Structure 1
Amino acid sequence: MSLRRRMCTVAAGAAAAPFVLVMLPAGVANAHGYVSDPPSRQAQCADGTVECGPIQWEPQSVEGPKGLDMCSGGNARFAELDNDHHGWEVTDVASTVEFSWTKTAAHSTRDWQYFIDGDLVAEFDGGNEQPPFSVDHTVDLSDYSGEHTVLAVWNIADTANAFYACTDVNIT
């Protein structure tokens, strides 16, 4: 093969490489998401309602091992989310509430869980499938009244991690 032909072959391969990479199957996506409505603590940080640390720039990143009961997901960088006296705004809600998740990266989902005072109040099966980037769940809170913090957990199907979001509500 002549030198000129080799150089043309190499050039053609280099030009095609980006297109080939785009066509390859994607690897495991990094899942990221949080409750945006009613506004979770990290949503309040992101929109400037409450003064916060690094969580203000990445509200979708409250990730930790499954099974935790902490608003920060055990992530020390976001410890202010665990502080019940940080000035969180409380949202008035009825006994039935629609929680909206905003995700910046989809991931196979085992389930979503909602807790009040450590009690599981609702669970939604994710079918080990990738959900859309916006997911809503209607949760019955009729057994509770007054101010509570709802811990919402998005359990990922194919990792040991979950995403955590706490929302402060006043159930009327």
Structure 2
Amino acid sequence: MRKKMGVVAIGLGVIGASVLATGSASSHGYTEAPISRQKVCANAKDCGAIQWEPQSVEGPKGFPASGPPDGKLCSGGNSRFAELDDPGRNWPATRVSGGSYTFRWKFTAPHRTTDFKYFITKNGWNRNSPLTRADLDSQPFLTVPYNGQQPPFEYSHEGTIPSGKTGKHIIFAVWTVHDTANAFYACSDVEF
């Protein structure tokens, strides 16, 4: 009897280690406020693979000089999450106004962080095409330095959303990981 229990315990230990290793490899983070497209998909059906991995929109860092290609910004350039780049989906928009706003991130693996940057679409941008750099204001409207520190699993900070915007826009959030070549990206649909 002891021998069988030992085998079962060892077997469960190996299975548990495999599950943990697999889970941490695909775990990272996304914005909850304003709600990101990947969080919308996590709460919905028929949204592709992102539905089960809202935390995994990762791509090369260095935006806007480098990073994901135009037209694939919302998916981080990851073809598995192409639904995020589709302008034809009826993405719900968070109501905002110019001024103070509390931005909130959820992390499943809070990496050491260089900074958080937020860009917003220009007035008159083409909402019927996938998001490109030309659609965004050239400079982030908010940069939050994090100096290589590791954020908690839930992180909020205040910032100012620019005034002078009307109608629907996208806030493009960039979480720059400090000690890898990647960053995480999130598109949040907002309405002024």
**Shorter-normalised TM range:** 0.7 to 0.9
CA distance, structure 2, for counterparts of residue 170 and residue 97 of structure 1: 14
The structure having more radius of gyration, on CA atoms, is 1
Q: Tell me how far 1:131 sits from its aligned partner.
A: 0.8
Is 1:125–2:136 an aligned residue pair?
no
Unmatched runs of 5 consecutive residues or more in structure 2: 1-9, 14-23, 122-135
Is 1:79–2:82 an aligned residue pair?
yes
* Equivalent pairs, count: 144
TM-score, normalized by length of structure 2? 0.69
Counterpart for residue 169 of structure 1: 190
* % identity of equivalent residues: 47
CA distance, structure 2, for counterparts of residue 151 and residue 162 of structure 1: 12
Q: Tell me how far 1:112 sits from its aligned partner.
A: 0.4
Q: Tell me how far 1:102 sits from its aligned partner.
A: 0.2
Q: Tell me how far 1:143 sits from its aligned partner.
A: 2.9
CA distance, structure 2, for counterparts of residue 85 and residue 138 of structure 1: 31
* Residue identity matched to 2:48: G
**Residue of 102, 107, 115 corresponding to 1:103:** 107
Q: Tell me how far 1:126 sits from its aligned partner.
A: 1.0
Unmatched runs of 5 consecutive residues or more in structure 1: 1-14, 19-28
Q: Tell me how far 1:80 sits from its aligned partner.
A: 1.2
CA distance, structure 2, for counterparts of residue 82 and residue 145 of structure 1: 22
Counterpart for residue 143 of structure 1: 163
CA distance, structure 2, for counterparts of residue 94 and residue 143 of structure 1: 7
